[in-house]
Amino acid sequence: MTRCSFVLMTRDRANFLPGAFAQLREQKGKDDEVVVTGYLPDDATYLGVKDNKAIVDKLLHVRADSGAEAVNAAKGLLEGEYVRIVSDDDYTYADQMEHAIQVMARSTDIDLLVCGGVKKDVPSGKTSLVCLPKGTSYATSPKDILQWGACGTGFLFRRNVLDKVQFDTSVIADMTFAIDCINAGLTVKFCRIKMFRHPIYQHSNIHAKRNEMEKALRKLYIQYSFVLEPLVKNAPAWDGSLT
């Protein structure tokens, strides 16, 4: 039985592929699979994948307008009990990834696990921690997701979730996926482990599509009658606890 499907999304970013495959080698266990999905239009991107074919179990060449579309297109290829989406420009700590899988194995009621990590805005050099204070209400309603956010870099979910909820194609697909999971009656939890490092580049949506993101968020705020409150800033507790 395949334990985890690591889905690597890539498009026109051959320079990131060596780092992406290096981390996948650290994370992939004997019962895991690596599925590469994306648009490979140029020789550099294609060769970047081909050079790492030893670790690639499945390759889906799809012309998608977003990473979300690419993941949805790969649904029928996935065989893992769990699904982990890997963007070519992020980094996941292998030991914490394994920790997250063990949390899911023990807590069989959890459908979507949202893990913590570190974001770094590359243009400004500013960093921020993705970690919720203990006692926080998270994912009991869509308003919790709107308040605290849901970074897809920290997602680990059961494959059967995709039978009920798929990623939409909006610029805030991570957040809407978590909200749609809640609305579908699925169990979403935040786990206080520092699983990822998420560099935010000029090509990232928050910079490249800022106006579109803000418009999409305002629409959600109106839909759920939500008013953003100041966030409580406490020292992070990376103790693996769930909220």
Q: Report pLDDT digits (tens) over 4-53.
A: 999 998 877 889 999 999 999 999 999 999 999 876 767 788 888 889 99
Report the pLDDT averaged over residues 207-223.
95
The span from the CA of 49 to the CA of 118, in Å, is: 27
The span from the CA of 91 to the CA of 89, in Å, is: 7
Q: What pLDDT is stored for residue 206 in this prediction?
A: 87
Q: What pLDDT is stored for residue 70 in this prediction?
A: 83
Q: What is the mean pLDDT of the chain?
A: 93
Q: What pLDDT is stored for residue 135 in this prediction?
A: 87
> Which pTM does this prediction carry?
0.95
66-117 tens-digit pLDDT: 778 888 999 999 999 999 999 989 999 999 999 999 999 999 999 999 999 9
Could you confirm whether domain 1-89 is CATH 3.20.20.70?
A: no
Domain ranges of the chain: 1-89, 108-151+161-228
Q: Residue 140 — very low, low, confident or very high, per pLDDT cuts 50/70/90? A: very high
146-194 tens-digit pLDDT: 999 999 999 999 999 999 999 998 999 999 999 999 999 999 999 999 9
Asked if pLDDT for residue 62 goes beyond 90, the answer is: no
